[in-house]
Structure 1
């Protein structure tokens, strides 16, 4: 029978609240099932006046964070947008009642005006993070910055230096820190429930269609034009591992390559585009016609008309003219489709992290090994086993694709900006740069074939 408990009562029941080793006997708790709910995304009272913000980039992430302002207008008010795709710009302006004079085509146009909001939300493509972030800091804006911070280590360090110089509030969108799953894992590590932390195995299954969509055909298919996949996809994971271990990473050894999505693996009969009479289109799991047209998966990238009767023809037009209709074996992609990273931390803890494209499923998997217990989880549930008693406690979680963290991140950021207190952030620029440096170091190791030291 499942038992509903608040987080505070749960901690009291399990004897975790003291932060020390588990002292309450677990006898009688074998196979106990508990449910861990999402925290309330409005844990603070509304500020005296809403934080005003301008969104740069009205794509998927810009709409996710911007939607917080629609739901909680007394906390956040979006007063401007920069977006070069006309239909996205128009829809965003309508959603947030943005006046025409505050609608801009590119981010540069925003900064031609004197400062007219409290903050900037940067959800532009990865290679367009550095310029607007540095300009916004120079003009006195606080910032919500989508990950990755910037495409190069130097740019990341420059943003950190500028943030410190200007003393602005900069939050990086490492939303997994706000996921109940990872919050609970970190809590169990640090309150002594597993004794001394020894090692972690962490697995990120990208899922084969997601890989083909984002990192073969999509915006992140070429690392030189954007960022290496270890940052574009997995800086969340490096950040959360650093956060859970609680110590700095000292050494990294990484391996991986692009093995499958290459021209030499192209099946006989394949054409440049899936709809060009490809002989094996119906046999290919990566068929653009199957994914986007027949199954209607991941079509948010197409900015489809609201009239559903017109969407099919619009999809076909996109498949004729964009990379999303091209054969996955004939792209100019260079992102590895399998990537293994070994990390050693200053307290002797080791982590094995694997990112894999070829899975039928998504959702991170974690195994945490301690001297007195272990934890196994997959973002929908986690199980803690006590070595002394053999008894288990299982938590089941409710979550979205980022584990419920998106709006909780925005909530903390709004308060931090309102109170001008960076300590209210879990994922500040200071904390986030370290995990990015880990990513750049991993890529250096992968390309050079050496174990690399991490220089913070």
Structure 2
């Protein structure tokens, strides 16, 4: 019989109120000594002085991480920003009270100055991670680095090597490791609650509009100019699979292609831009006019004016002048819209990961199969079934898109920087490079049509 937990009891179960160790009856299986916790910014004492940081890239992710400083100013202070888009830079500067002399156009401008903060937050586009990261390390900055680490395996390995050489703190934003959902799943696996872990099925539904927005029209539409979609969208997921399994991945076989968003599927009457009198615009689920103008979805990329009466005109202007207004069938995109990866780990566990564009919903789905029980979840809840008794136990939680992990990551990073102890991080550069190599190997397998060994 199912067991529903109240919100307060759930928080107690997950350790969110006490900040304690996650615990659960073991149903007869051996418990390991692994200590797991959910980082909570309120439980940490403030550092002697706030960690000071410069944000490189004041877009969505830079804003998410920077907002932590507004909530916990005794822990983090943003003292500089670089962004070539004036409205982003100025809004960010005003929010954080950044002096004019610390507002920069490019990341290079920041490093033309002597070191003036403890750390940098790198939330630039994917193809602009390697340069600022290497420069920041060479100048002695600690780093919070948005994923993916870099567009190529060679660059990822170079960043790791320099981080080791300079002994700097580098946290990679694999925020799912800090989500209470995945922390609890890993705890159950580690404790043996489901017996011996046998296999995992993991599914990321991108959602059809998200796909068209980010990977057909958006910044990540061309893998050669940015990063393959398996890294750009799903290095989170490969990292989580590695983390849950607890052993190295040995072999990968991947399949996938770009099937729909290409010229041969363009409907008759379509124009190069949705705003140019397209004959089928009203019938197209990917219409830029529908998504951005009529429904006002994902308009944060347009850096709209604050005044609502001016926003419609600004959106129409962006649809005339940017890729976001172009027909999805006439872009120079090459990212696969369906991608399946099979992984075999050193301990014999297998995992199947599927990333799909054509869904009406978002939110990762997970199925974990063990010798004595299984778990089925969807980021907001999961159900554990005990094979011996048939009893089902259900958990539910409220969470953001990353399951509450964004600020939990920042909280641990601040502690690591203030104490100069990388051991406080779950998503350290060491751990993160391995899952990136898994992603690069998956892409090699997909392109070559071969099963590939993972070489760490």
Q: Shorter-normalised TM-score: what interval?
A: over 0.9
Q: 1:196 is matched with which residue?
A: 196
1:396–1:69 CA distance, 2 compared to 1 (3 A): same
Give the TM-score taking structure 2 as reference length.
0.95
Once the two structures are TM-superposed, the CA of residue 12 in structure 1 deviates from its matched residue by 8.6
Q: 2:184 is matched with which residue?
A: 184
Unaligned runs of 5+ in 2: none
Q: 2:424 is matched with which residue?
A: 424
- SS in structure 2 opposite 1:390? coil
Q: 1:305 is matched with which residue?
A: 305
Which ranges of 4 or more aligned residues in structure 1 deviate by more than 6 Å?
A: 9-13
- SS in structure 1 opposite 2:94? helix
1:265–1:172 CA distance, 2 compared to 1 (3 A): same
- SS in structure 1 opposite 2:334? coil
Q: 1:31 is matched with which residue?
A: none
Is 1:346 equivalent to 2:346 in the alignment? yes
- Matched-pair contact (CA < 8 Å) for 2:38–2:408: no
Once the two structures are TM-superposed, the CA of residue 38 in structure 1 deviates from its matched residue by 7.7
For residues 7-406 of structure 1, what are the structure 2 equivalents within 5 Å?
A: 7=14, 14-16=24-26, 20=30, 40-406=40-406
Give the distance between the partners of 1:295 and 1:52, measured in 2 at CA.
Answer: 39
1:195–1:265 CA distance, 2 compared to 1 (3 A): same
- Matched-pair contact (CA < 8 Å) for 1:19–1:190: no
1:146–1:13 CA distance, 2 compared to 1 (3 A): closer
Give the distance between the partners of 2:31 and 2:430, measured in 1 at CA.
Answer: 30
Once the two structures are TM-superposed, the CA of residue 20 in structure 1 deviates from its matched residue by 2.2
Give the distance between the partners of 1:157 and 1:244, measured in 2 at CA.
Answer: 23
Give the distance between the partners of 1:18 and 1:169, measured in 2 at CA.
Answer: 40
1:296–1:38 CA distance, 2 compared to 1 (3 A): farther
Give the distance between the partners of 2:41 and 2:262, measured in 1 at CA.
Answer: 44
Once the two structures are TM-superposed, the CA of residue 144 in structure 1 deviates from its matched residue by 0.2
CA RMSD of aligned residues (A): 1.7
- 1:110-169 CA deviation, whole Å, 9 max, x = no partner? 000100000010000000000000000000000000000000000000000000000000
Once the two structures are TM-superposed, the CA of residue 380 in structure 1 deviates from its matched residue by 1.2
1:45–1:12 CA distance, 2 compared to 1 (3 A): closer
Q: 1:26 is matched with which residue?
A: none
Give the distance between the partners of 1:267 and 1:101, measured in 2 at CA.
Answer: 52
- Matched-pair contact (CA < 8 Å) for 1:199–1:368: yes
- Matched-pair contact (CA < 8 Å) for 1:216–1:331: yes
Once the two structures are TM-superposed, the CA of residue 453 in structure 1 deviates from its matched residue by 0.1
Q: 1:439 is matched with which residue?
A: 439
- Matched-pair contact (CA < 8 Å) for 1:148–1:436: yes
Give the distance between the partners of 1:12 and 1:337, measured in 2 at CA.
Answer: 38
- 1:44-99 CA deviation, whole Å, 9 max, x = no partner? 11000000000000000000000000110000000000100000010011000000
- Matched-pair contact (CA < 8 Å) for 1:271–1:278: yes
Unaligned runs of 5+ in 1: 23-36
Once the two structures are TM-superposed, the CA of residue 43 in structure 1 deviates from its matched residue by 2.7
- 1:380-425 CA deviation, whole Å, 9 max, x = no partner? 1100000000001000011000110000000000000000000000
- Matched-pair contact (CA < 8 Å) for 1:39–1:180: no
- Matched-pair contact (CA < 8 Å) for 2:238–2:435: yes
Give the distance between the partners of 1:41 and 1:357, measured in 2 at CA.
Answer: 35
- SS in structure 1 opposite 2:127? helix
Give the distance between the partners of 2:118 and 2:106, measured in 1 at CA.
Answer: 19
- SS in structure 2 opposite 1:279? coil
